[in-house]
Amino acid sequence: MQAKPHSALVLIGHGSTLNPDSSTPTMDHAETIRRLGLFQEVVCAFWKEEPALREVLRMVDSREVYVVPNFISEGYFTQQVIPRELGLTGETTQIGGKTVHYCDPVGLHAGMTRLLLARAAEVAPGVPPEECSLIIVGHGTGLNENSTKAIKDQVALIRQRNAGFAEVIDSYMEQEPLLAGWDRLTTAPNVIVVPFFIADGLHSFQDIPVLLGIESEPTAAASQMEVFRHNPHEIRGRRLFYSSAIGTEPMLADVILDQVEAFDKARQTAAATDENVTSNSLADTPALPGKLSISQPPRSILASLQAWLEQGGSHLGEVAVRRVTIAAADATGQSAGSGSGWILTHHSDADLAGTGALVRHTDAASAREIARHDAAGEFRPLKSAPTLKRGWEIVLSSLAEVRLALDYLNPAALANVVRLAEGSVPRLTLKQMLGRQTGMYRVTGLIRESEAQELVAETCQDSKCLRKIIWPWDENQGWSLLPPEKTICPPPPRDGSPWPLICTDACPLLVGAARELVRARQKAEAPPVSTPVPAPALS
């Protein structure tokens, strides 16, 4: 595609607070595209992970932004959740001084058919297609009828191609035809099952194997085991071949770029009118009264970071940053002088930087893996939790790399500080945030203020999260059980002092905890179910 050196690409994924693999493909594809140098910025955001959807447009300096949902189908999330959280009101929205283009989800791309066939051939090499039944499996949901359309379309396209399979069918986890009956749905001696999901997350590596009969109960995450790579599985008198999710295919990065190019072509076709361009100014975004004022033009995040470091800035959360001299080498490995660079460490390891005592990394992307798990190997869905492991250092040669590494280690932290200083951070109260939840989280809107006060005091304390909260319970009530320093956010320092980590919206962990709290209360308050007393037998 044509390079867009003044534009940003934003990839949107679902993410998870439980599974470390849910966000992996989206981040992998973003890294692949970033290395191509086609965009000024490439950023990810997630519904259930960091950085959050409502933060991501703050994270880019570009005035033109392309948003591509890394979702399989056009449904509930792509039509309702993503536009709502980003503030989009059409295909192209003018918002906060940015022109934001909303592209189609990757799963609608015609190239997905080719990827599905390639994955089927890869998982069952040497097995003649005519001796195989191919099952494309999805989730299935009652929230939006379009959620199964992408899968049905792919099944139809593969049938039309006469790919040679004995049969090609669609099946679902939660609606007919149910995947649990895969052996009754198929007739061939070999059955290939390809999950039409973006990631090897909870569904493809924990739920589906149980439905297929590969496992008797949910197991560990994909990154922690390889048992499902052991094809074929002899089950129910068949040979079952089970592949990883289609969204993990590296060529999906090309599909993402194609969706951007397709959007531009469609826009050129409609260029004669302005019907597809709508506006959603920051002034129209729900916020606390008197708390939103755009006092100055948006500042460059990179320039703000540079100014802070030049003033002596050295700490962001648990991360220490220090300028160093980096020795350079030519193509033969010989010394080619030296230059200025930066070294990042855990703040408790700052004195060990450059001594050889720490494991050295030399690329910004390594920060992603460092931040992913704690010292015990447990997944860190909340990167502002004080659990960043020690023993590493990252040596980088440019501020752009430093910015990227810091965004991996503390997602959106730089952007939140810079944008808050501008007065351009609209905020939802917790009551508003929980009131807009849907699906299984709708019940959180029933939380009581007293319950919320105790929940926030427990969940958001510094021993669990280092961010400072700038959202209250409602427009009139703050947090009575939190220490004042947790909710009083000082203005971003201009003297090199540590930048604060700022919480601009309630995180998925808090929303999940609110759901459990309300459900437990409802269960405790439910009237007891009386057991009817049988009538005495007639003699």
Report residue 289's pLDDT band, with 50, 70 and 90 as the boundaries. very low
Distance, first Cα to last Cα, the chain: 88
Residues 6+ apart with CB under 8 A from 393: 343, 344, 345, 349, 352, 353, 354, 358, 359, 360, 361
SS3 track for 515-532: HHHHHHHHHHHCCCCCCC
Peptide bond into 527 cis (omega under 30): no
Has residue 459 been placed in a domain? yes
Per-residue pLDDT for 293 more than 50? no
Closest CA to 11 of 61, 35, 38, 46: 46
Structure tokens that stand for 65 in this block:
């932004």
Per-residue pLDDT for 538 more than 70? no
Average pLDDT over the chain reads: 87
Instruction: Read off φ and ψ for residue 466, nearest 5 degrees.
Output: -90, -5
Per-residue pLDDT for 286 more than 50? no
Per-residue pLDDT for 274 more than 70? no
* Alpha helix ranges (H) inside 275-394: 301-310, 366-372
Kindly state whether residues 403 and 519 are assigned to the same domain: no
Has residue 368 been placed in a domain? yes
Instruction: Please tell me the distance from the alpha carbon of residue 435 to that of residue 475, in angstroms, as a whole number.
Output: 14
Domain of 241, CATH number, reads 3.40.50.1400
- Please state whether 370 falls in left (phi above 0), alpha (psi between -120 and 50) or beta: alpha
Per-residue pLDDT for 72 more than 90? no
Has residue 258 been placed in a domain? no
Has residue 84 been placed in a domain? no
Report residue 294's pLDDT band, with 50, 70 and 90 as the boundaries. very low
Q: What is the pLDDT of residues 348-357, one digit of tens each?
A: 999 999 999 9
| Helices and strands (H and E) in the chain: how many | 18, 18
Q: Greater confidence, 187 or 209?
A: 187
Residues 6+ apart with CB under 8 A from 147: 73, 75, 76, 138, 139, 140, 141
- Residue 532 exposure: Cα atoms within 13 Å on the Cβ side: 3
Has residue 9 been placed in a domain? no
Instruction: Please tell me the distance from the alpha carbon of residue 411 to that of residue 55, in angstroms, as a whole number.
Output: 9
Residue 335's beta-bridge partner residues? Answer: 329
Kindly state whether residues 357 and 450 are assigned to the same domain: no
Of 375, 409, 443, the last residue of a domain is 409
Q: What is the mean pLDDT of residues 26-54?
A: 95
Closest CA to 199 of 13, 391, 384, 53: 13
Least reliable range by pLDDT among 224-233, 264-273, 402-411: 224-233
Has residue 519 been placed in a domain? yes
Beta strands in 173-248 (DSSP E): 190-195, 233-235, 238-242
Instruction: Please tell me the distance from the alpha carbon of residue 150 to that of residue 219, in angstroms, as a whole number.
Output: 28
CA 312-497-319 angle, to 5 degrees, is: 85
Contact 233, 184 (CB under 8 A): no
Kindly state whether residues 337 and 441 are assigned to the same domain: no
Kindly state whether residues 162 and 178 are assigned to the same domain: yes
Per-residue pLDDT for 461 more than 80? yes
Of 381, 409, 437, the last residue of a domain is 409
Domain of 336, CATH number, reads 3.30.1360.190
Instruction: Please tell me the distance from the alpha carbon of residue 272 to that of residue 373, in angstroms, as a whole number.
Output: 51
Kindly state whether residues 339 and 397 are assigned to the same domain: yes
Has residue 528 been placed in a domain? no
Has residue 140 been placed in a domain? yes
For the beta sheet containing 233-235, the strands, ordered from the edge strand earlier in sequence to the opposite edge, are 167-172, 132-138, 190-195, 238-242, 233-235
Kindly state whether residues 404 and 424 are assigned to the same domain: no
Q: What is the mean pLDDT of residues 189-209?
A: 83
Burial (0-12, 13-18, 19+ Cβ within 10 Å), 381: buried
Q: What is the model's pLDDT at position 295?
A: 38
Q: What is the pLDDT of residues 375-397, one digit of tens each?
A: 999 999 999 999 999 999 999 99
Q: What is the model's pLDDT at position 329?
A: 45
- Residue 440 exposure: Cα atoms within 13 Å on the Cβ side: 5
User: Structural domain tally of the chain?
Assistant: 3
Kindly state whether residues 348 and 426 are assigned to the same domain: no
Instruction: Please tell me the distance from the alpha carbon of residue 265 to that of residue 272, in angstroms, as a whole number.
Output: 13
Print burial letters for 159-170: b (CB count within 10 Å at least 16), e (below 16). Answer: eeeebebbebbb
Q: What is the pLDDT of residues 110-169, one digit of tens each?
A: 889 999 999 999 999 999 999 999 999 988 765 556 668 888 999 999 999 989 999 999
Print burial letters for 172-202: b (CB count within 10 Å at least 16), e (below 16). Answer: bbeeeeebeebbebbebebbbbbbbbbbbbb
Q: What is the DSSP letter of 52?
A: B
Kindly state whether residues 243 and 336 are assigned to the same domain: no
DSSP element (H, E) containing 135: strand 132-138
Kindly state whether residues 503 and 419 are assigned to the same domain: yes
- Domain of residue 448, residue span: 414-523
Instruction: Please tell me the distance from the alpha carbon of residue 175 to that of residue 159, in angstroms, as a whole number.
Output: 22
Q: What is the mean pLDDT of residues 197-216?
A: 78
- Please state whether 529 falls in left (phi above 0), alpha (psi between -120 and 50) or beta: beta
Kindly state whether residues 331 and 358 are assigned to the same domain: yes
Q: What is the model's pLDDT at position 271?
A: 60
Q: What is the model's pLDDT at position 296?
A: 46
Q: What is the model's pLDDT at position 199?
A: 84
Domain of 494, CATH number, reads 3.30.70.2320
Closest CA to 112 of 193, 26, 197: 197
Instruction: Please tell me the distance from the alpha carbon of residue 181 to that of residue 212, in angstroms, as a whole number.
Output: 8
Q: What is the mean pLDDT of residues 400-426?
A: 92
Q: What is the model's pLDDT at position 492?
A: 61
Kindly state whether residues 453 and 490 are assigned to the same domain: yes
Kindly state whether residues 517 and 424 are assigned to the same domain: yes
Of 352, 385, 409, the last residue of a domain is 409
Per-residue pLDDT for 453 more than 60? yes
**Amino acid in the structure at residue 66:** Y
